[in-house]
Amino acid sequence: MTSSTTSTGAGMAGVTTAGQDALLLAARVLLGAIFVQSGFGKLMALGGFIGGLESQGVPMAAVLGTVGALVEAFGGLAVVLGAWTRLAALLVAAFTVAATLIAHRYWDAAPEAMKMQQTQFMKNLAIIGGFLALAAAGSGRFSVDGWLAGRR
């Protein structure tokens, strides 16, 4: 390793460490916002959401739809706020896996919809990866979890 590579690497590590809490806050807000919006939208029109699940052959659609909408809305909100972050990130990741396998089965899609469904599938894989990284890293200092940890 050259000295310029070493100093550049060390410099970036210092910036990342100094800004880690801000980066985790940004990650939580950016990942969680879509789930808050979509989840509360589903809760406000729960019958339509459940009907859509039934039309896709989801068993126990009323129960799973209600649980899914609650996990999406309140799990997303918990992620944004940084409350029970690791658990919330894992729950919303699991919700996203299920939603992806129900709604974005590009291999079963009509030819004209296949590319769009594949794009949605791949986007969801990236989101799942983000939630897994957040579950590993935690919420950072700028969060409910961080605030509670500071009070102990």
Domain boundaries, the chain: 45-139
Please report, as a single letter, which amino acid is at residue 127: I
pLDDT in tens, 99-112: 999 999 898 999 99
pLDDT interval class at 16 (50, 70, 90): low
Total-model pTM: 0.85
Q: Is pLDDT above 90 for 6?
A: no
Q: Is pLDDT above 70 for 89?
A: yes
Q: Which of 115, 44, 30, 107 is nearest to 73 (CA)?
A: 44
Q: Is pLDDT above 60 for 2?
A: no
First to last CA, the chain: 43
SS3 content of the chain, % helix, strand, coil (to 5): 85, 0, 15
